[in-house]
Structure formats: structure tokens, C-alpha cells
Amino acid sequence: MDAGGTKLLGAAVDGDLMVRHRVHRFWRGADRQETLGIIQDAVEEVRSAAPDVEAVGFGIPSLVDFAQGRSVWSNHLPIHDLPFRDLMSERFDLPVVVDNDANAAALAEHRHGAAKGSEHAVLLALGTGIGGGMVINGKLYRGANGFAGEFGHMVVDHDGAECPGECPGRGCLEVLASGAAFGRAGQIAASKAPDSVLGRRLADGHEITGGIVTELAHAGDEEARSVLAEIGCRLGSGLVSIVNSLDPEVIVIGGGAVAAGDLLLDNAREVVADRALPPAGERVRIVPAAFGDESGMLGAALLALEEGAA
């Protein structure tokens, strides 16, 4: 189960990472009990289709105490200070493993995806927010308390806009380059160019989301393409700090925003090549996630297979 800020994606997955049954749920404004109820319903749907499930892995958008299986703090879901692993294990009577959602995605991409074969890799998951995970010396790195890799809350503009959700920061990368930022930038672009396809969508009363911006950009709308180019440059500015700090071999961009492809990533690559310290900025590869927006789900399955079902 991969729980994001606005949606839940889950599946029954076997040892070869073959998906046998998928579930998809959305939540907006749900309180704690509603959120947990949606999760439980999704798990039970999978179990009804795959009754031989042996363990459940969760990737959640939260600072996670991995050893205790506790959700410590979340910017987007009401799951602060929650003994998530034990609560879910009791509900399902199955072994449960829980980690940060981007850590799970990084695990999947490092083991089987775009970062396979690397010793030092970073993953950024661009969705409602920006999650991050990293592999150092071939192993997932969680930090002293399990909270490492929160690159979305790396400050790139000291006097920037307030970070959405519960984050106390300003000018975080999440404000500037998340999937939600696509929609905000698209709304501004649409209002400034009412004769564009994007502008007409706004005039017709449609919500301008990141998905709409990406769809219109691929269809050739110049205003939408300009939005992706701008977001790509902002993303690149954040990646410069990651490259200069960690010197990874590869940075994998995942989450729903990966659908933008090179319309987003080419601009990020240019900024990194121009601004990161040489030679790291010239050597690092910036690539889309091999598993798209399913990296977190598959990584959660790997955690369950390796630690829950052991």
C-alpha cells in the first residue's frame, strides 16, 4: 500500500513483483478515522482477491520511526504520533511493515528499477508534496531517527511562500516543484493567457491541475509547456543542492509528476549541469522512475516480502 497526500495505491504483489490485483482510493479532507477506514477497506479488497497474502507493507507520507513502526509526523495526512504498524497488524491479523513512502519507492527503484546497479542514489517523488529517499553504499539510508531524505522541505527560497500542510517552513522545494505546484503555476499561466488552450480550460470552469497541465503540454500547448519548463528549472535548483551535498550517481524522479517526462526533466538537467559543482553536476544522471507512480507500492511490497513475511 502506497499512501500519498491525496490518494492510496495498493496491490497484491508476489515475489517476482508481479501485480495480481490493484486498488485505488482518493481522500481529501478525511479525518484520522476516515483515513484509517479507507486504508482498511483497500487492504480488505486486495485480500478478497488474493486470500494468500502473507504480509502487508505500507509506504506512508510521514516521518516514520521504522524500528517502532510509528508514524511520527505527517505534512498531509492526520496520522501524527500513531502506532501505525501495530494498529494495522491488529486490524488485519497479519505481519505489517511500514516506512516512509519515498523510502519504499527508492528501494524499488534501486533493487529493480532506474537506479539498479548504483551504490549512491536519490529518489524524489513528486506528488501532492515531494518525498525523498536515498541509498548510500548500496543501502537505504534512514538517518539517526528514521527521518532522512525530506528533500521536499529543503529551503530553496528563504523568503518564499509558506509551505502547504503542517510544515512550519517557507520557500520549501515542495512549494515550488511538487505535483501540486504544477496546478498552481498552471492556474497563474491560464489567467495570464486566456486565449491559450490552458486559458480556455480555466474560462470554461475546469480546475487546472498538474495532470491537466501535463496532458496539454504533451498535446503541444505552449503555455502548458512553459509551466513545465518553469517547474523543471525550480526542481533543478533543488537538485543542485542534492548533487553538491550527496554526490549521487543517479537521481530518480518519481511520483505522479513523472508523467511530464523530459518536458520537465530536460530543464532540471540543464540547471544541474550549469550550477552544480563540477564534475558531479556533469556526471549525475537524472532519470524518470522505471515504475512510474507505482514505485512506492512495489517498494512497500518488497518491505513486506523481506521483513514482514520472513
Contacts of 61 (CB under 8 A, 6+ apart): 3, 4, 5, 74, 75, 76, 77, 100, 101, 128, 129, 131
Pair 95, 55: CB distance under 8 Å:
yes
Q: What's the pLDDT at 310?
A: 57
- Per cent of the chain over pLDDT 90 is 92
Q: What's the pLDDT at 265?
A: 98
Cα(55)–Cα(190) distance, integer angstroms: 46
Q: What's the pLDDT at 98?
A: 98
82 secondary structure, DSSP code = B
Domains of the chain: 2-101 (3.30.420.40), 114-289 (3.30.420.40)
Q: What is the pLDDT of residues 150-192, one digit of tens each?
A: 999 999 999 999 998 889 999 999 999 999 999 999 999 999 9
Q: For Cα atoms 95, 293, 270, give the angle at the middle one, nearest 5 degrees.
A: 135
Q: What's the pLDDT at 29?
A: 81
Q: What's the pLDDT at 307?
A: 87
Nine cell digits for residue 144: 539517526
Q: What is the pLDDT of residues 120-153, one digit of tens each?
A: 999 999 999 999 999 999 999 999 999 999 999 9
Q: What's the pLDDT at 165?
A: 85
**Residue 309, pLDDT above cutoff 70:** no
